[in-house]
A and B are shown apart, each in its own frame.
Chain A
Amino acid sequence: MTSEPGADPATGTPLSVRGVSRRFGSVQALANVDFTLEAGEIHALVGENGAGKSTLAKIVAGSIRSDSGSMSLFGQPYRPTSRREGAAAGVAHVRQQLSLVRGLTVAQNLQLGRPGAPAIFNAASARAEVERWSDEFSLSVPAETLVDDMPLAVRQQAEILIAVAWGARLLILDEPSSALGPLETKALIALCHRLRSEGTPILYISHRLPELAELADRLTVLRAGRVVVEGADVRAADLREVATLMIGDVSLLEVNRPEIERGTTRLTVTDLSVSSTQEIGCHGLNFEVAGGEILGVVGIAGNGQDSLAKALTGQAKLASGHVVVDGEDISGSARQAIAAGVAHLHEDRSTGLAAAFTVADNATARHVRSGRFTRFGVRLADKIARHAGELVERFQVRPPDPAARASSLSGGNQQKLMAARELEKNPTVLVAHGPTKGLDPEAAKAMRDRCFAAAQAGGAVVVISADLDEVSDLAHRVVVLYRGRVTDAFPIEDMTSERLGAAMAGLTETMEAASG
């Protein structure tokens, strides 16, 4: 299956997929898919959540098998039976759910499972290699930090770096930008362009329209496992045309901000400091959020967002200060936060869901301490399944099967499942960390509407995101985090890219965010 090492990569089409189908139980994830990746192109693969994009990517990478159909790689028949084989043939796959091994550093991950790696780990050379690639592509991937201690955006960059370092001849990026801010996205786009010019074709999966218009040469659209648009040329197309190709209905991209009545203060944060071994922590934060108000927290990933989200939801031990919800101090107690009606959309779905558990168990997990679904302490499976069935229906989780495992859902549907768990009831405070991450335009709109609805119902909403569009669509007011401190705060109308850029780079004088 591997082509000769000496073979000229230019001799064959990099990737040709013919008639590939794959079924999971009752779900036809892919049906007779034809797909061609040409030399020197960036080919965007788009489609709604659950359309089968990640499944196709995994089949090409070798980590799952197709039921039928065939593939060829650089002109050679290609039938990988494992991801390792795919990697050996030169296919690198950066997955939607990242796969760096936790508990190890990037340098260690680089060597682990590397095709043809020497048996002995040379720490110095691995570190040097990470640093070289990181410089080369102007990324900021630390070689010797534990993966666990890196923000999602940096982990994403590290995965791409490793793929490149392994000498990929063909790169698959599955929603690589979903955790990235504008600067990092820019770096990613530059990296992709550079790889393309060096002859590495890229299969690029994303729901983000602007970067697709900037990046992609051609576009393939999947819908319910079928190719509905095959390889349309988008080089000359404008944003609107691409959008029409992608989603048909361009109006889904418009944001209608409802008028929301402002209530009294519900969330008060005073002198909040968190010291964290894993992140930069946060230092001396003061702000208030009223009912009906949506506060956006922006900043480059890794500037204290994680610590802030944890502090607001009672999960972090505070070094100082208080988090008060409706007059009740919930500092450092997730239990009290839940009781006070605080909801939390986790940034990282791998920590926000129990992957091996069923959809039903996940959807109802917030009730675990309430005894609502038990008799004599025994969980009533029927009642749980019924309730979960209603929830996944309401939150449009596809397939709406309470007995399925959470891990079997597509990325976007996992996000919806997490929302179903957290937003079953109107929250008093909603801490939404990248709420629309990984959602298709329709689902993203639904999620925005849920955030608006939470505010309309009188909740205080905090949207933490690296995605500035997400924040500007939702927030009434913005605070900027830099190294764990608030460097600027302003109403959304005053947001300009200059002002944001300066604050996010720490060039603004550190100031206390005025409340209200």
Chain B
Amino acid sequence: MADTSIGGDVGDASPEPLEDEGRRLTTSLSTSCLAVLMAIVLGGLIMLMSGENPLTAYTAMVDGAFGSEFALGETLSRAAPLAIVGYGTAVALRAGLITIGAQGQVVAGAIGALVTAQLFESGPSAVAIPAAALGGALFGMAWVLIPALLRAHFNVNEILSTLLFTEFAALLIEYLLNNPLKPPTAITPQSDPYPDNGILGLIIDGTRFHAGVFVAVAIGLLFVWWVRSDRGFSYDLYGENPSLAQSLGISGNRVIINSLLISGATAGLVGWIQAAGLLQRVYVQIASDIGFFGLVVAFLGGATPGGVLVAALLFGALQSGGLAMQSSEGIPASLSDIIQALLLLGFSIRYAPQIIRLTRGVMANFTLIGKRRK
């Protein structure tokens, strides 16, 4: 409850521009907490209905997520990429941009990292690892460049264009792994093993806790700096009131392009971490659902550093805990998927007014394009 002074406002069809959150998509952690609570309670009810004891299930889940060194490593290694995507998406979100292209940028980043790593195959790790990271980030950025330019110069809605580019990425990786990147011996679509000198090693043996987790920490610190920096403030200002920001000398095009590129770069880094740390090869499913859940993490965390971190850990724990619950108690891991889906639902209800307002804006643009021209 950040702001009790306006907490007394009751439901309102069309709030005053200066009285509501404006265009901001990023406030109010309390409603996010409510969404989490709702998901846990509803999830429990569903377990009851399917004849499982929710207490046993949740205990097993918590145990499977935090109860051992292995569990913790699993949780962290799942949370790390979500957090990284979350931070990058949060930068765009704070600037008033809804990019939902992280999924495709992760894929592009994985390809970029693999190709770069192969170029540096014979070099020392100290060169190959940063080079591949850079390759991943650049490919991620490249994947959002066209949507960014379209948005900046032609006001083309970024939701649609980034989604489209995710589809392109899916098609591209399918093609690459069936043709040029596929080793002659492979039967299923996949790449050569990731070059040894570029592998992100395990920090703790016997777990999946790999060095990519530190990248998440570093990006998290950068994000903390960002939200407190002058530049971050000017991006936030643009997100809150673009015309005011522009009147104060902040270039809207620059904000749009840079913040989308930042989100692309972070997603690209995740692609690199997936390829070089976790899977050590590139598969079609290299991004699993990280791109999409990363967005949810950014939204649910209110695009704040702490919020995104907590949300990423929550999803990491749900995923690792769900699997552990299945193997220890025989309770299907899909129950954890249900909880994640409930969270998603809770989050979309929380943002429903904004989403409706935005889509209305998009629709109005479509229907009125002819009018604006004349």
- Interface residues of A, Cβ cutoff 8 Å to B: 22, 24-25, 62-65, 81-84, 87, 95-105, 112-113, 144, 146, 277, 313, 315, 333-335, 337-339, 344, 346, 349-357, 361, 365-366, 368-369, 371, 373-374, 377-379, 404-408, 414
Contacts and interface: CB of A to CB of B under 8 A. Distances in A.
Contacts of A100: 14
A374 B12 CA distance: 39
A346 B246 CA distance: 13
A146 B234 contact: no
A228 B243 CA distance: 40
Contacts of A25: 4-5
Contacts of B368: 105, 146
B126 interface: no
Contacts, number: 158
Contacts of A350: 17-18
Nearest to A337: B249
B21 interface: yes
A354 B247 contact: no
Contacts of A366: 248
B3 interface: yes
B17 A99 contact: yes
Nearest to B15: A99
Contacts of B243: 315, 351
B300 to A, nearest CB: 19
B240 interface: yes
A188 to B, nearest CB: 20
B1 interface: no
Interface in B242-284: 243-244, 246-251
Contacts of A313: 247
Interface in B29-81: none
A97 B361 contact: no
B125 interface: no
B361 A414 contact: no
A24 B241 CA distance: 25
Nearest to A408: B5
B237 A357 contact: yes
Contact of B18 (A84, A97, A369, A378): A97
Contacts of A82: 10-13
A355 B248 contact: no
A64 B9 contact: yes
Contacts of A98: 16-17
Point out which of B16, B236, B250 has the most chain A C-beta atoms below 10 A from its C-beta: B16
A64 B8 contact: yes
A405 B249 contact: no
B17 A378 contact: no
A346 B244 CA distance: 9
A352 B244 contact: yes
Given A338-B248, A354-B241, A368-B250, A101 B360 contact: yes
A377 B14 contact: no
A374 B10 contact: no
Contact of B16 (A99, A333, A334, A373): A99
A379 B228 contact: yes
Point out which of A62, A98, A105, A351 has the most chain B C-beta atoms below 10 A from its C-beta: A351
B336 to A, nearest CB: 35
Contacts of B10: 62-65, 81-82
B12 A377 contact: no
B16 A378 contact: no
Given A369-B250, A377-B229, A379-B230, A84 B360 contact: no
A377 B225 CA distance: 8
Contacts of B24: 356
A472 B64 CA distance: 76
Contacts of A349: 18
A379 B233 CA distance: 8
B248 A97 contact: no
B17 A335 contact: no
A104 B360 contact: yes
Contacts of B246: 315, 334
Interface in B345-374: 357, 360-361, 364-365, 368, 371-372
Contact of B22 (A144, A352, A355, A365): A355
A95 B6 CA distance: 17
A75 B243 CA distance: 46
Contacts of A355: 17-20, 22, 240-241
Contacts of B249: 333-335, 337-339, 368-369
Contacts of B9: 63-64
A394 B247 CA distance: 23
Point out which of A64, A103, A104, A369 has the most chain B C-beta atoms below 10 A from its C-beta: A103
Which 6 A-B pairs give the minimum distances between C-beta atoms? A335-B249, A350-B17, A113-B13, A103-B364, A82-B11, A25-B5
A427 B17 CA distance: 29
A103 B5 contact: no
Contacts of B251: 335
Contacts of A404: 5
Contact of B13 (A24, A65, A84, A406): A84
Given A405-B3, A407-B18, A408-B6, A146 B240 contact: no
B231 interface: yes
A337 B248 CA distance: 9
Contacts of A339: 249
Point out which of A64, A65, A99, A338 has the most chain B C-beta atoms below 10 A from its C-beta: A99
A353 B241 contact: yes
